[in-house]
Structure 1
Amino acid sequence: MLDLINFVALSGVFNVLFFWYASTKMKSKADPVKTLVVSFVFSIPLSFLLIGVYTTMLIYAAKTGANEDAMWEYMEQEELQ
């Protein structure tokens, strides 16, 4: 869970910095506050996607009686195939 929270936080920080940098390269300078708001708006769908995947994984783990570590291992094996 902590890895997921860190990933969401890092993606949010990346979006903020990216939009802020992009606003400095535009011909018409953007307002930093508006840029910050736009970057948060773009971070929200990513956060919901990650929360949805993690929640689905935990519900499936509860139904099958597996723990969180077993589910991560299962997902990694499926990814390799």
Structure 2
Amino acid sequence: MLDIINFIALAGIFNICFFWYASTKMKTKPDPVKTLVVSFVFSIPLSFLLIAVYTTMLLYAAKIGASEDAMWEYMEQEELQ
């Protein structure tokens, strides 16, 4: 669980830094603070999506009695098919 939280945090930080940096390099200079707020707002749905997928996976694993590692392996096999 800690890995997914770290991933979400890093993805959010990268998103915010990227939008902030991109806003400073545009020909028409938008306000970096407004761009920061917009990028933060767009990071929230991504975070909720990742949390929902991970929580659903853990609930399904608990229901069938599998471990977290078994669920990751199952998801990888499904992805390859």
Give the TM-score of the pair, scaled to structure 2.
Answer: 0.87
Q: Which runs of at least 4 in structure 1 moved beyond 3 Å after TM superposition?
A: none
1:53 is matched with 53
Unaligned runs of 5+ residues in structure 1 are: none
**Can you list the C-alpha shifts for 1:20-78, whole angstroms capped at 9, x where unaligned?**
12211223322222121111111011101101100110111111011111111111111
Aligned CA-pair RMSD: 1.3
Give the TM-score of the pair, scaled to structure 1.
Answer: 0.87
Matches within 5 A, 1:33-72: 33-72=33-72
* 2: CA distance, partners of 1:3 / 1:77: 21
Code of the aligned partner of 2:8: V
* 2: CA distance, partners of 1:21 / 1:33: 11
Unaligned runs of 5+ residues in structure 2 are: none
* 2: CA distance, partners of 1:54 / 1:13: 20
Residue-pair matches, total: 81
Corresponding position: 1:3 with 2:16: no
Q: 1:12, CA displacement in angstroms?
A: 0.8
Corresponding position: 1:12 with 2:3: no
Q: 1:10, CA displacement in angstroms?
A: 1.7
